[in-house]
């Protein structure tokens, strides 16, 4: 499934995989995000970060989550009405993201059904896995979202 094509509810079938990459996270990207949203020393200062549990400067996990959202939108967000986040069942960060890491995503549809109470919407459950340039997993997220169901009837 290419990320270029316009998608509809019927494309979000169980087992379907969408993917997108690559986005590079630079040193200054990490600092910029951390200054705004997660000003802890191991995200802000490469010298102080040497004394941290990470041993070097790393991106905030919420920065990784934000970049993963961008990758997710690029992978399968081209759908009328957009993707409406309902909740996240789980986020895990098995390893950090370092300056100049290049991230990509695989998004797998776990379940997809039309809402009984609001049949114009479909509830879609996905597992999104974010990888670094070595193919190592840096984040997994179990996402629940709404998308429009109306195009499923054509």
Q: CB of 152: closest distance to a second copy in angstroms?
A: 16
Asked whether the beta carbons of 30 and 49 are under 8 A apart, the reply is: no
Q: CB of 10: closest distance to a second copy in angstroms?
A: 19
Q: CB of 148: closest distance to a second copy in angstroms?
A: 8
Beta-bridge mates of residue 86: none
**Which CB sits closer to a second copy, 96 or 109?**
96
Q: CB of 8: closest distance to a second copy in angstroms?
A: 16
**67: enclosing H helix or E strand:** helix 61-76
**Which CB sits closer to a second copy, 109 or 145?**
145
**Which CB sits closer to a second copy, 16 or 148?**
148
Q: Token digits for 82?
A: 């957009």
Cα–Cα distances (Å) from 84 to 40, 55, 94, 114, in that order, read 30, 37, 26, 14
**3-state DSSP assignment of residue 111:** strand
Count other Cβ atoms within 10 Å, centred on residue 56: 13
Q: Kindly list the residues in this chain that would bind a second copy in the complex (CB under 8 A).
A: 33, 36-42, 52-53, 60-62, 65-67, 69-70, 73, 77, 81-93, 121, 146
**Which CB sits closer to a second copy, 15 or 116?**
116
């Amino acid at each position: 499934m290419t990320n270029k094509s316009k998608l509809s509810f019927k494309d979000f079938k169980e087992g379907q995989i969408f993917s997108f990459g690559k986005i590079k996270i630079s040193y200054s990207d990490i600092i910029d995000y951390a200054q705004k949203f997660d000003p802890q020393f191991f995200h802000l200062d490469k010298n102080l970060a040497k004394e941290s549990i990470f041993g070097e400067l790393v991106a905030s996990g919420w920065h990784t989550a934000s970049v993963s959202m961008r990758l997710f939108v690029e992978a399968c967000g081209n759908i009328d009405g957009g993707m409406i986040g309902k909740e996240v069942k789980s986020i895990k960060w098995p390893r950090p993201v370092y300056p100049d890491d290049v991230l990509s995503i695989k998004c797998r549809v776990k379940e997809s059904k039309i809402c009984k109470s609001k049949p114009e919407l479909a509830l879609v459950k996905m597992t999104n896995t974010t990888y670094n340039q070595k193919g190592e997993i840096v984040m997994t997220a179990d996402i629940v979202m709404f998308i429009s169901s109306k195009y499923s009837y054509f």
